[in-house]
Amino acid sequence: MPPQTRYAKSDGVNIAYQVAGEGPPDLVYVPGWVSHVELAWELPDLARGFERLASFSRLILFDKRGTGMSDPVPPDDLPTLEQRMDDVRAVMDVVGSERAAIFGASEGGNMSMLFAAAYPERTIALATFGCTAKRVFSPDYPWAPTPEQRQRGFEEVERQWTSGLDWEDVAPSLDRPALEELSRYYRRSASPGAALALMRMNTLVDVRDVLPSIQAPTVVMHRTDDRDANVEEGRYIAARIPGARFVEFAGADHSWWTQDRDAIVDEIEELVTGVRPAPEPDRVLATVVFADVVGSTERLRELGDHRWATVLERFHATVRRELERWRGTEVDSAGDGFLAVFDGPARAIRCALELRDEVRRLDLELRVGVHTGECERLGEKFAGIAVHTGARVASLARSGEVVVSSTVRDLVSGSGIAFEDRGEHELKGVGPRRVFAVL
């Protein structure tokens, strides 16, 4: 569930904020043009990015004044960078954060860089992504839009905001439904007048002179073909911040969470904690357990839908209780069956035997298959030939039996578990395997 939204007062303006994770350290995320702290969690990729950031920090999210759930501001009273910095300090104060790392994305990077320079005593580290030092062309900064190009951008926002802008330049890697979802998010994050006012305000920003004053450890990140902020702008910023490290990612997305999200978060984690996270293993040796209820269709006809649903509810509760007891992990459960994984085959067998006996109290019989092999881990899911083998082994079990592959039998040698040889079987899609029933 998303964190609870609360408010901090900044010079009489209510600033919406959320806190996720525990830390230490604290990490303040400064969003780009517009944001919405609650709707952001409805974007799956952005939510996963927040979850990763909160896994190694106390993540502090907020909406800048005039956007999201924070108080609106009059279109003719543009907030200054100083006022925006006051908003950050107000949020940090109310949550009791004396020092924090700052992560600024897109136009949130301007404020982040100024904050790090102005408040070095409150800044642990600085990370930026897709940021610029200024937003209008000059001979010594030739990558920014010309005044005429910026004016056309104002007119486009004013004309199309309510009907939906084309966000393909922001995230060209996304398909059409995802782009429409992103468009809805931005349009719900600010009114047309507020979005245009903030765009005008950002056009006036120029932080080039403050870059040499930043003392915090800094990583500047940018995508090679970013269509909104030229990669040369990221290189420019990194070259002028003392000791800053520049990291370039392939791709054209301006939004940080839509491409190489985990690699970007890895850079922030290393900067903030001093430790680069180890890559999540894609393949792992695991013992898979497949089980299903014998004669479930007949029991459904006998009991009826309502009573059978009650029995299944108790069945799944029993499964989860025993998995927790024997250190198993539930991977999938549907109807009258389940798939679980264990880090040891002996525990898997003993859990299966205990579970078989426990569900008999519900007048149910199980058949169970157990196999150990290399699995492909896909997030919380497991796949691969080992999983298919476990399913095929389970299909050979009789009512009330736990049947294992020869691999499992060999691995638990000396455990005191006895087996009966059931011979070699041709397993569909797997090949010949010798199986054994647990006695």
Domain spanning 6-273: CATH superfamily:
Alpha/Beta hydrolase fold, catalytic domain (3.40.50.1820)
Distance CA(238)–CA(246), nearest Å, equals 6
Q: Is the distance from CB of 82 to CB of 118 less than 8 angstroms?
A: no
The predicted pLDDT at position 257 comes to 93
The predicted pLDDT at position 279 comes to 60
- Report, as ranges of residue numbers, the positions in the chain whose pLDDT lies below 70: 75, 160, 162-166, 276-282, 334, 379
CATH architecture of 283-438: 2-Layer Sandwich (3.30)
* pTM, rounded to two decimals: 0.66
pLDDT in tens, 134-170: 988 999 999 988 888 888 888 777 776 766 666 777 8
The predicted pLDDT at position 243 comes to 93
The predicted pLDDT at position 281 comes to 56
The predicted pLDDT at position 124 comes to 93
The predicted pLDDT at position 302 comes to 83
Phi, psi of 50 (to 5 degrees): -60, -40
Using CA atoms of 144, 147, 148, 154 in order, give the dihedral in degrees to the nearest 10.
Answer: 90
The predicted pLDDT at position 57 comes to 94
Domains 6-273 and 283-438 share a fold: no
Q: Where are the domains of the chain?
A: 6-273, 283-438
The predicted pLDDT at position 21 comes to 92
The predicted pLDDT at position 241 comes to 95
The predicted pLDDT at position 383 comes to 80
pLDDT in tens, 28-64: 999 998 899 999 999 989 999 999 999 999 999 999 9
How is 370-421 classified by DSSP, letter by letter?
EEEEEEEEETTEEESHHHHHHHHHHHTPPTT-EEEEHHHHHHTTTSS--EEE
